[in-house]
Chain A
Amino acid sequence: MNLAAATNENLANISNTLIYSSMAVYTLAFFAHIAEWVFGSRSKVGRTAAALKKDSSTAASPVMVRAAQAGGTTVLERPKVVTRSAAGTRDVPDGPGAAGGTFKGDLWGRIAVSLTVVAFAVQAGGVVARALSVQRAPWGNMYEFSITFSTVAVGAYLTLLALRKNVRWIGLLLVTTVLLDLGIATTTLYTDSDQLVPALHSYWLWIHVSTAIICGAVFYLGAVGTLLYLFRDSYENKIASGGTPGKFATSVMERLPAAKSLDTFSYRINAAVFPLWTFTIIAGAIWAGDAWGRYWGWDPKEVWSFITWVAYAAYLHARATAGWKGRKAAYLALAAFGCWLFNYYGVNIFVTGKHSYAGV
């Protein structure tokens, strides 16, 4: 069988066009997000300071009142649940988001999200066309890995949005990094579509690599949350200790969710993905057992997957260890994501091992 004939040049070209088009649309989304931030900056929001001042007088007051059952005419009859944060944590309300509660900002934000949805659809089309052109999973080399990676990251973000989670604050950063990722993918990492070497022929390719990509993409969202948590936390600390942050910092930070919310966000993301990452490594080990005769051989890629795994485990431990919660745990989470990134870029480029046929 001449497998080369299976590679459909036409589809490959369509895929490339779609990827370039999605970059164009992402660029528009990027500018719309910028507009959202710019118009949002006109709103005056200074709830953090107010909350922190109140916080010092009455320790841990209830932050949120939620009707047990929303709507209905008998709301008043129903018991209401009062929640309060655990002792020792600050009660700071979440910021209103990039739009800052302004109409214009919100409009631009919605435009940005809509454009992101369009770009995502186009990009996903590009990935699918690529897959069809090679008649296999679209992750046989770093180019394909990169385009799939950012598609999944945006997909995860849009899913969270669709589930009505408060995640629009990620928008600008996400779109920026997706553009970067696609830029690198189409320029330096580009590889013409083609078949795989025999070593990659296995259904484990589907399982192992797809979960690896999903993990990375979602870990990325967690890492963004962690990073913003660190900034927002310093901001809150500064205010709590009587300082006055700069104007720009205030404008940006006030609109982000509270440090505590950001921290919870990234914890949930990381904790949710950790079992999947564990599975990814195990699936890789099973595949390695089939392909190379040993399920674990300390190949650089394996080593870095292991390091990443241990680093995330350390992060989860830190969250449960007094004295390590908060910022220290956040640094661990960032280091863990750094390990993931290095495993993806660094190991493929700088280190040679059995995994290096990925066609850099």
Chain B
Amino acid sequence: MRFGRTFIALVRMAAGNLVRFPLRTVVVLACLLAAAAPLLTALALQQGLKDQALATLDAGPDLLITGDDFGRPGAVPLEWTDIVRQAPGVVLVIPRAVGRVMIDDLPAILVGLGPAAGIEGAQRRHHPGMPELGAGELAVGSALARHYGIKKGDEMRLALPVEGPERFRYRSFVVTGLLDGPDSPVWSATLVRGSFADLQDIFLRHGMASELMVWCRSGYEQRISTELSRLLGPAARIQDRPMMETYYHAGFDRRGGAFLVLFLAALSLSIPVLALSSGLGLSARRREVAVLKSFGWETREVLLLQMIESVTIAMAGASLAVVLALAWLVFGSAWPLNAFLLPGAEELPLGRLPYRLAWAPVLMSYVYAVTVTACGAVVAAWRAAAADPGRILLGGEG
């Protein structure tokens, strides 16, 4: 009972000390926020993007077939559509054309879907997508539409890369749709959809597609992949879903890893700053500890008080970092960190980005905050607690 009351008194006193030494409190909180909030924000964004990518992958084709152009992915002839469709177990094949265009000075991805080949109703089931676009029609991603103020019915001019001194030729289209549904993945924000025929025309690849998207009967993917390899020969590259997942993971991990390394370097610099700032106001604290010892406090009680203070400020700092990270993601789209994880984000505001704040980084930020503040405070606390109270309070002179 008495220990409980003493502990409550210690907690009250620790909270009071945080208020009484505002400079120290503010500096430590600022250091904790500067260290933990960007890391939490970036990790949450990375996790959100990864989740969305994997969800898109899940809803996407089972196999992706491209040509092999001297070891790099190349275009595929449209005749392969029929060959692939004939393979036992294939339910749907959709050719897709993908290319880069410029809208003013911003790059965009232009995508067109070719005629689907498959069993009755398969397209509706597997790839509902948008209604087919006619010649000269475009559907524009939300970020591009926002950036250029594009509305349905507007005319839009695309710069198409060509060889020669001109570098670009221009072609006008009519915007008939916007890719701004609530479920649209973030990368569709900078996407432009056109008709397949227009893309073939623009990129001068008549009778070709960038890739074939293939949906299979469940459980037949591997068998179909092997069969298609045999049918199409070495000119085809076939990626199944596990392989695509591996590429996705590798891409995210590489970008996230590069960010993490840079950030950990900055974080390691924050540790001595935090350790020093934890000892701010030490001379006043030494005097106060000496007074407490004159009341009969023991060193362990002084250390316990300091520990409660450190843990309180660390928990407050980590909690604030979580709140700040969420606010940064919701209201600030993690700018400018998003550029590390989402190429193009610095050029075009992508709007609200997907995020998921997992418990592991949150827990890690609490552990980090407690460890660093406690390490910083324990030296100061020990020095204060071990000092001779008589010398501090009485000066050792009469």
Please determine whether chains A and B interact with each other in the same assembly.
no
